[in-house]
Amino acid sequence: MTSPTIDVWNPATEQLVAEVRSFSSEEVAEVISRAESAQRKWRALGLAERQGFLSRIADTVEANLEELALLESTDVGKPIRAARAEVAGVASCFRYYSGAIDKVHGDTISLDDGMSFTFHEPIGVVGVITPWNFPLPIASWNIAPALAAGNSVIVKPASLTPLSTRRLGELIDEISPIDGLFQVVTGGGSSVGAALINDPRVGKVCFTGSTEVGQSILRASATTLKRVTLELGGKSANLVFADSDVQAAAAAAPWAVFDNSGQDCCARSRILVERSVLDDFIDGFVAATRTLRVGDPSQETTDLGPLVSADHKETVEGFLEPQLDYLYRGESLEGPGHWMAPQIVLDPSARSRAAVDEIFGPVAVVIPFDTEDEAIALSNQSIYGLSGSIWTRDVARSLRVARQLESGTLSVNSNSSIRVQTPFGGFKQSGIGRELGLEGLIGYTELKTVFVKTGA
């Protein structure tokens, strides 16, 4: 009997590029059994052996960078320059966690009648469910620390974009010291994803995607009290104060929201600008946006590729209501391909769907404010709290505002959210838990306390 398959399409050409196997629930159960066996062997290995394996993964990713980048570009519609940079970041992630393995320590606690020691123990089998917008980077943020902590890992990539993750699994399997330590299962979320979530042998599930799906995963995980890390939606604010370098903020703003064609949970898609510099900011923002080149992802000069699918393009277009006050509407390419050029909207009320909901496309909304308190209130009125930026020359203001913003990751005079060395995650409905940094590794452990009686 032939196994069912998933069709994988190139979003820039709308051509079928691959058919990928769809695992059955029975096959997922067998994968989990192999992962259980592998994890027992893996946790028994010394730290140096774990470090060596993660370092070899980094070397392997670097040696196959061009192949992985091309798969990522073809799968997602991502410009090839961006795909190369992201694959290089995957290698850096594995290398960082190779070095972090022996940096996580427990505590020694003196007591009247003895001593207590704490240990970070591996959870066991970890299931990772990744999104379609940054398949390899987000997979690595979970695979690397989970392996470093002594767990085995099963990854289910998004059905739209499974190719690069599947190839990474093949490359890691070739150098793995233990069969079944890292496995990739492909298929739909309602079948393959659910099989990982519902199996009590999977000790933790990590999911990156929409808040709605994250809520359903949290509910399903409650049955077995499974540990979860959820990195979910975002509607991040980009606060531009009059005392900032307004032209620098305007020049940086396009990449903050339109990078990856706006398909980014960290996109600073709500741009809050102090009213006294609003016109200057808009002039600079529109001028910088006009320079972005939308086109063939395989071309080195391309800045923005297509949206990932026809369905997603239709969803994004649903936010572009005719009555909106458009400051700029880029001209989209004709098909084939799911093209959408950047759109900039002015919404003084901050009440349109475009200003409130996560669009996940190349749409920015500019919202004026008059006071610092108003800027903070506008930023915090979102149900999300993932990332954001503060542009000001006033150091005291940057710290004061940062402490009041309900967001997990903030940048001052920068639009950069993510570094492998620092924790990443959101407040409110943007998720639960943290990825990256040493906190990301600790999140793949259980804390054990051991008391030793020394008194009579």
DSSP string, 389-402: EEE-S-HHHHHHHH
Q: Which stretches of the chain drop beneath a pLDDT of 50? A: none
Q: Are residues 302 and 205 in the same domain?
A: no
**211 in a domain, yes or no?**
yes
Return the CATH number at 228. 3.40.605.10
Q: Are residues 441 and 335 in the same domain?
A: no
Q: How far, in Å, CA of 228 to CA of 204, rounded? A: 6
CB atoms under 10 Å from CB of 7, counted, come to: 11
**424 in a domain, yes or no?**
no
Q: How far, in Å, CA of 380 to CA of 378, rounded? A: 6
Q: Are residues 35 and 183 in the same domain?
A: yes
Q: Are residues 177 and 212 in the same domain?
A: yes
**Domain ranges, residue 123:** 5-232+430-452
Position 2 scores a pLDDT of: 63
**306 in a domain, yes or no?**
yes
Q: How far, in Å, CA of 91 to CA of 365, rounded? A: 35
Q: Which of 231, 274, 358, 435 is catalytic?
A: 231
Q: Are residues 120 and 182 in the same domain?
A: yes
Tokens of 391: 């542009």
**160 in a domain, yes or no?**
yes
Position 314 scores a pLDDT of: 97
Position 417 scores a pLDDT of: 86
Q: Are residues 89 and 201 in the same domain?
A: yes
Position 335 scores a pLDDT of: 82
**423 in a domain, yes or no?**
no
Active site residue 174: no
3-state DSSP call for residue 51? helix
Nearest residue to 160 (alpha-carbon basis) of 271, 253, 78:
78
Q: Are residues 78 and 172 in the same domain?
A: yes
Could you give the number of structural domains in the chain? 2
| Plot region of 437 (φ>0 → left; ψ -120 to 50 → alpha; else → beta) | left
**425 in a domain, yes or no?**
no
3-state DSSP call for residue 238? strand
Q: Are residues 162 and 202 in the same domain?
A: yes
Going from the C-alpha of 436 to that of each of 336, 356, 400, 430, the distances in angstroms are 38, 28, 25, 16
Q: Are residues 269 and 244 in the same domain?
A: yes
Contact indicator for 96, 144 with CB cutoff of 8 Å: yes
Give the total residue count for the chain: 456
Return the CATH number at 275. 3.40.309.10
Q: Are residues 33 and 147 in the same domain?
A: yes
Q: Are residues 380 and 279 in the same domain?
A: yes
Position 456 scores a pLDDT of: 67
Position 3 scores a pLDDT of: 73
Q: Are residues 29 and 115 in the same domain?
A: yes
Q: How far, in Å, CA of 237 to CA of 241, rounded? A: 13
Q: How far, in Å, CA of 213 to CA of 426, rounded? A: 16
